[in-house]
Amino acid sequence: MKKLVYFVLFVFTLNVAAQEQYTWNTDYKSALQLSKSQDKPILAFVVNQQQSEATELLKAEFFASASFKAMASKLVLLKLDVSDQQSYNARMGIHYTNQRTAPGLALVGADNDAIGNPLVSFTSESISDFLGFINSKL
């Protein structure tokens, strides 16, 4: 029994250590300053407090992909929670994704302009295309 407990603990520790940890900015202004000072584009991830199929698909096929892991250090990661429709984040989320709902992804330049079209329709193909698009802009 003791060996089983150690084995489970060992597997859990490996699993936790293997997970990628990214630093997500939640303040748009600080993300913009980082973008300018580091000469990196911003990847704006528009979310709300509700889980959806689209969010799960993004987690599985976008954020867990080798492509994203390879380019994450070349981006300023910004998470905009649009749960409060009256917030500044909601206005920025609408501005970048051209929609009032979440989730959505947009690539933003240091000059505060969107680069290309946002990802708001979630299929495996559209996610793969957006990853390729981001990679082409880095």
Q: Where are the domains of the chain?
A: 22-137
Kindly report, residue by residue over 29-41, the tens digit of the pLDDT. 999 999 999 999 9
HEC letters along the chain: CHHHHHHHHHHHHHHHHHCCCCCCECCHHHHHHHHHHHCCCEEEEEECCCCCHHHHHHHHHHHCCHHHHHHHHHCEEEEEECCCCCCHHHHHHHHHHCCCCCCEEEEECCCCCEEEEEECCCCHHHHHHHHHHHHHHC
Homologous superfamily (CATH) of 22-137 is: Glutaredoxin (3.40.30.10)
Least confident of 10-14, 26-30, 57-61, 106-110: 10-14
- pLDDT for 135 beyond 80: yes
More confident residue, 115 or 18: 115
